[in-house]
């Protein structure tokens, strides 16, 4: 497993139709698996043991532009604040700030690797079940957090926002400044929450953890009674010193401003300039706001370019990439680029066939003239 920021040059957006993609990525087992993960994460002594004879490798950025250094050994924990590793050749256990981590390589249990393979094939239901079975065998706390982040992705891909949110809240409970903040299942699509999700979002909004409150605020933004409280919470988070939380909060406030129709095309262009300076992993959701802003002003080619960034540059935001890809195909249609519209629609219907938006893309293609 390798974790490193994904990036894509802008010229890939223009050439998206030629790209080849690898998509890496409530049922009866959901509550059981959540309890197992949350309770074990809360009470485990960090032994750091994993697959037999597994060796971890951490690549770190040296201070003051001093290049990179690689350490091999056993990772004892990895949180949003720090990574702790016992060197392979003995010596003192080392602790480094997470912001210095460039890449982490480890070995997964065979069951976990199978789940990852199922995710890469878009078999989200099977992957969900496999991850649930795997968590009972994985005794490394930091890897269990990876499993939680993958369960968030599975639930989101299967259009289960309540389950996805509960998994994410458990992840934040284990690590309040989680390195997996980018998988937060925020509402970027303006889907009206059903009653259980609405009630749960109100509880999330009362959490002691910033990222969980962000999650609650996201799903309450359009609520007639609680919307103002959600906006106020996002504005508080925007002033925090936590990069992931304040960046995601900024995108959600943009969405609120867009929904209120309180903007100009110049402001949308300024947002687009701002988002390019953000960490790659935190960009996807906000690009949907940029795309909708271009649509609002009838700028269909610009909207299409913004929408298709998600399936092209951020394939691991599976459900959101499927949604954005379909919206991108429709934007191409509005721009009069029917060949591009059809190609994008076919891409989404095939890559994300098991998701709701993938199925919607297949149905939409039947209507395309």
Q: How confident is the model at residue 49 (pLDDT cuts 50, 70, 90)?
A: low
Lowest mean pLDDT among 30-34, 315-319, 361-365: 30-34
One domain for residues 158 and 195? no
SS3 content of the chain, % helix, strand, coil (to 5): 60, 10, 30
Structural domain for 319, as ranges? 279-368
Cβ–Cβ < 8 Å for 84, 76: yes
Percent of the chain surpassing pLDDT 90: 75
Nearest to 69 by CA among 77, 60, 78, 82: 60
**In Å, how far from its chain's centre is CA 331?**
24
The CATH number linked to 116 is: 1.25.40
Q: How far apart are CA 367 and CA 352, in angstroms?
A: 19
Residue 6 in domain: no
pLDDT digits (tens, 9 = 90+) for 283-302: 999 999 999 999 999 999 99
One domain for residues 239 and 258? yes
One domain for residues 201 and 167? no
Residue 24 has pLDDT above 50, yes or no: no
Nearest to 115 by CA among 140, 144, 77: 144
pLDDT digits (tens, 9 = 90+) for 226-247: 999 999 999 999 999 999 999 9
Where is the domain boundary, 158, 179, 200? 179
One domain for residues 217 and 175? no
Nearest to 242 by CA among 217, 216, 214, 219: 214
The b-or-e profile of 289-318 (16+ CB within 10 A means b, else e) is bbbbbbbeeebbebbbbbbbbbbbbbbbbb
Residue 20 in domain: no
Tokens of 177: 């400044």
Residue 40 in domain: no
- Length of the chain as a residue count: 369
The CATH number linked to 88 is: 2.30.30
Residue 11 has pLDDT above 80, yes or no: no
Task: Count the Cβ atoms, other than its own, within 10 Å of residue 89.
Answer: 7
One domain for residues 239 and 168? no
One domain for residues 195 and 255? yes
Residue 309 in domain: yes
pLDDT digits (tens, 9 = 90+) for 177-191: 999 999 999 999 978
pLDDT score recorded for residue 15? 38
Dihedral over alpha carbons 256, 153, 99, 310 (to 10 degrees): -60
Roughly what angle, to the nearest 10 degrees, separates helices 318-334 and 356-367? Answer: 20
Residue 4 in domain: no
Residues contacting residue 260 through CB under 8 Å, at least 6 positions apart: none
Residue 41 in domain: no
Where is the domain boundary, 117, 150, 179? 179
Please compute Rg for the chain using Cα positions: 21
Residue 308 in domain: yes
What average pLDDT does the segment 136-151 reach? 95
Cβ–Cβ < 8 Å for 206, 226: no
Compare 324 and 38 and report the one with higher pLDDT. Answer: 324
What average pLDDT does the segment 300-318 reach? 93
Where is the domain boundary, 164, 179, 194? 179
pLDDT score recorded for residue 315? 78
One domain for residues 138 and 194? no
Residues contacting residue 241 through CB under 8 Å, at least 6 positions apart: none
- Per the DSSP assignment, residues forming a β-bridge with 84 are 77, 95
Compare 355 and 210 and report the one with higher pLDDT. Answer: 210
Number of domains in the chain: 4
Residue 24's φ and ψ, nearest 5 degrees, are -85, 120
Residue 29 in domain: no
Average pLDDT, the chain: 87
One domain for residues 113 and 170? yes
Query: What one-character-per-residue DSSP string does 205-249 give?
Result: TT-SSHHHHHHHHHHHTT-TTTHHHHHHHHHHHHTSS-HHHHHHH
pLDDT score recorded for residue 261? 79
Cβ–Cβ < 8 Å for 122, 354: yes
């Amino acid at each position: 497993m390798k974790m490193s920021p994904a990036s894509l040059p802008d010229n890939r957006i223009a050439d998206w139709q030629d790209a080849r993609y690898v998509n890496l990525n409530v049922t009866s087992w959901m509550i059981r698996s959540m309890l197992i993960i949350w309770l074990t994460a809360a009470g485990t002594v960090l032994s750091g043991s994993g697959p037999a004879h597994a060796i971890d490798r951490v690549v770190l950025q040296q201070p003051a532009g001093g290049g990179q250094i690689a350490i091999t050994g056993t990772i004892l924990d990895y949180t949003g604040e720090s990574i702790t590793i016992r060197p392979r050749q003995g010596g003192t256990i080392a602790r480094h700030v997470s912001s210095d981590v460039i890449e982490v390589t480890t070995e997964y249990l065979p069951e976990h690797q199978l789940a990852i393979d199922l995710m890469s094939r878009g078999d989200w239901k099977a992957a969900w079940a496999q991850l649930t079975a795997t968590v009972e065998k994985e005794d490394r706390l930091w890897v269990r957090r990876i499993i939680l982040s993958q369960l968030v992705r599975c639930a989101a891909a299967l259009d289960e926002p309540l389950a996805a949110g509960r998994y994410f809240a458990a992840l934040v409970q284990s690590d309040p400044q989680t390195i997996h903040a980018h998988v937060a299942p925020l509402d970027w699509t303006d889907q009206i929450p059903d009653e259980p999700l609405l009630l749960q979002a109100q509880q999330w909004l009362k959490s002691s953890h910033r990222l969980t409150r962000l999650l609650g605020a996201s799903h309450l933004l359009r609520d007639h009674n609680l919307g103002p409280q959600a906006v106020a919470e996002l504005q508080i988070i925007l002033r925090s010193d936590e990069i992931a939380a304040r960046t995601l909060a900024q995108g959600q406030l943009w969405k609120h401003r867009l929904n209120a129709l309180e903007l100009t095309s110049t402001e949308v262009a300024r947002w687009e300039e701002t988002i390019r300076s953000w960490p790659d992993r935190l960009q996807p959701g906000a690009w949907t706001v940029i795309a909708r802003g271009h649509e609002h002003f009838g700028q269909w080619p610009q909207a299409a370019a913004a929408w298709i960034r998600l399936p092209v540059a951020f394939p691991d935001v599976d459900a959101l990439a499927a949604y954005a890809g379909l919206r991108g195909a429709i934007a191409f249609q509005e721009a009069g680029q029917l060949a591009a519209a059809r190609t994008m629609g076919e891409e989404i219907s095939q890559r994300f066939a098991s998701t709701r938006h993938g199925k919607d893309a297949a149905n939409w293609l039947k209507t395309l003239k």
